[in-house]
Every structure is written in structure tokens, then in C-alpha cells.
Structure 1
Amino acid sequence: MAQYILRNKKLPAVLPEHLRLPSVEVQYSRHLIPEERMCQHCPGNVPLSDPVLITHEAKILTKSRIVNDVSPYCKSCHQCGAHYRYQEWKDGLHNFNDRILLDLPLCLTIRNMLQVHTAVSRVVEYLELTSGEQFPSADTVLHGYLHFEALTEHDYQYSCVSRGDHPPVVTMDLHRKGAFHLSVSDLPQPPVDFNGEQQQEVFQDHRTPQSFTERSLSLRSLISALCPRCATFREQSLQEAKEMCKKT
């Protein structure tokens, strides 16, 4: 399921304006059903099952309130056993783990707050003070946000003096903190003959333990949400997380 979601459910780098701007008038559906009707893996037109209720106690987190008693559904293929869950960003929602959903304006707000060096825990405090409701833990909100970023196309506009133009790498430690400066003076100087190019294969062979390619990090985040037992993916290899999912 993670591979299918990563291939077919990615959000564009630039969202339509009506999905980016928050509005207190937006009324989200409380019954969230996957749009797929036919299996995307089996040859021919193999119909999926009727929607199956996952829970009726899911929550939608927004900037101004929490929408309770939401019912996400899933569908399955009787032939290959593939499961399809609700992941329709065009509705203005991002499904993290079928229990917690974030509306897109909230995801963008968290991104903007991180870019001005405000930790997610402070963002959650702000949301609770504004709405008067208790939000999930900051760690849960953070993982929901990272799940959103893992499913978002990114048009990178930066260049690394050590790794070249637009390196497809996220350093998890700094990405998680999101509130600390990294001075250019802290980076090692490139070789004198460095021309801005870097072979990705060579870099991956010498990457630090906390650095992952964008696709690897995206898969880790998706697997963590799809399989609660894989929530410890930060201490495990991607292959170990996949094996745990197969046994679930």
C-alpha cells in the first residue's frame, strides 16, 4: 500500500489557493471513502469490495478546531488482497494514520512555523490556546506533518556547497528540530576543483546515519503510519520496517 500511495497520491508542490487558505466555513465530510473502484494492481477490471469502516472516532485537526467522530473507510481487492485507504488531498485533507487527519492549511502552517524556527510543540500549544481544545501530542502532530511532507512534491530552490545543486536529501535531525540555525561556517569547504556536481550514488555510499534520500524517508514515514508496529522506524532500517509490515 505504501508504494501505491507514494506513486499515486502525492500532493503537488503548489496547492490550489482554495486548499491553501484556511476557512472557518469549510465543512468536512464525516464519512471518508477511498475513490478507487477497481483494483489498480490486478489486470482487467477487478472491482473492489464495499467500503469497510475503520473507526468512527477519527479526528480532523484544523487551525481553529478539532472535528470529532469522523469515519474513514477502506476497500480491498478479493483477488490480490490489496487494501486501499482514504488519501484524497483534493478534499483538503491529509490522512495520517486513519485516526488522525490534518487539513491542508494546518500542514502548511506547521511548515511555515518551522521555517521561522518555531518548534512543533510550540505550534501545538498555540493551537490549543486558540481552539480551547486538547490536541494530540506534539510528537503525533509532528509525525502527521512529516507524513504530509513525504507525500508532497517539492520544488527545491537551494544548493549545497558540499553536495551540489538541489540535493534530494533531508537531514532528519535538523528537520525535526526546525528551530535552530545552521551556519555556513559549520560546513566543510568543498574541494578547490569542485564544480557543483555530485554523483548521487557516491554520496549515498558515504552519507551519515541521519541522512536519507527523499524517497527512503518518504517510505519510512508512510510505513510508520500504515503499520503502528513500525513506529520505531527511526531506529530500524527500511528493510526491517517492511518485514514488520508483511507480518502484520
Structure 2
Amino acid sequence: MNLLRNILWVFALFLPQVATAHSPYIDQRWSCGLDGGFRVTFLYGDGIIGPDPRALIVLDAQGLLWAYENVSYQTVPFEADGCSVLDVETGEVVTPHPPSFAKGARIVGDAPEVREARWAFEPPSHHAWGMMRRDEGRRSTLSLIWVQLRYQPAVALILAGLAAFILFVAGFLSFGVGATWPVWIRLLLGICAVGSAGVLCLFLFAILAFAGAPVALTLSSLVFGGVFGFGAAGALGLRRRRA
């Protein structure tokens, strides 16, 4: 998963090691078939220490390039409109336009000339043909989250689980311990625990956003998981005190 690789790159900034570049690569998770034996997918470049830049491309069965369009890293498949994608950053839907397809280089394979061609089309690139854009207008935050959730459900689940665990620990320290301690000590402990958890979640959000995770999905997952974890810890702590 390229998102996980990007997150590891960000963490690597804090380690005494040198990052190495990688070759442009084609998305192995998502592709969409078109009439005539074509398929739509993403081509990724090398973001070094940030999210990998990407382009929407059309390939044929021989790996030849027939269309190319740079898109932002906040782009997700837009299944409501065939093989289109939604560029969340610009609010535009990018759609293959078969009448303007034109045969380009072969970029699928391991031959030296094929690898060289992939480098020539590494995103972001000045190449652009075979696609059309239309303004989708301002979509509601909930609809954006839903589109991103359908594309990256595992990311949302992991983030919500991490936030739930962090806030559960903070909530348990606030409500579940020190039942006989003075109120001011329990209050101070709760403030420190929740404050530390909040800072940790903000740090996690910053790293994930820098690594290319969808902002709306990341933030909503962290908030949902945090509220669930803190609420569960509060309920458990109050139940223990009444017991």
C-alpha cells in the first residue's frame, strides 16, 4: 500500500538514514475496464518524503499508454460515474475521453526501454491528453468522506482504532483510577491524560496528512475513534466507581 509506504517515509525523517528514489509504478489496487480492451488506473511518481504524485492513465492490453492526466494525491475513484475519478483538491471529476485517445509509449514491463518510458511520464508531467475535466461543484463533507471511505476502508478502520485506544487510555486514567483520591488530583490527572492524548492525535494527523492520507477521512476517523474510546472508558470508570 503506497499510503503506508509514505507514512514510513515520514517517520524515516526522524532516523539517521538516507532516502532513496524509486521508479514510477502503476497502481495494483484499482483499475477500471473500458470498451475496446482499455483500462484506467493510476501511475505514481516518487514523492521522496511526501505523498507520491499521481496521474490518471489509460492502458491497453499490451501496456501502451493511450491517455494521461495529472491529478492531485487527494484523488479517489468516482464509481458513480463509470471509470472517472474525483479530484478532491480541485473539486473536478476527471473522465477518459476515447475520441481524443492517442497511442503513446509502452510503460508496462521490465525491459530497459519500458523503464525509461515510465521515467519519461513520471508524474507530475507536462503530458496531457485523452481526458476531460468537469467541475463537480462543492460536494458536502459527508459525501467526500463516503467516497474516500469506499476507496480506503482499511485506513479508516486503523485510524479509528488507534484513536479509540489512545483516548480509551486517557479516559481510563481520568475516570477509572484514584476513586479515593482528592478531586483536584483526579482533575489534574484527567487534564494531563486528555491533553497528552490530544497532542498525540494531532501529531498523528499531521504525519498522515503529510504522507498523503485523505484529510476529511483521516480527521473524521480520528474523531469518531477518539469519541468512542473516551466514551467507553468513561462508562467503564463510572461503573467501577458505583460497584
Q: Scaled by the length of structure 2, what TM-score is found?
A: 0.25
Q: Scaled by the length of structure 1, what TM-score is found?
A: 0.25
Q: Which has the higher helix share?
A: 2
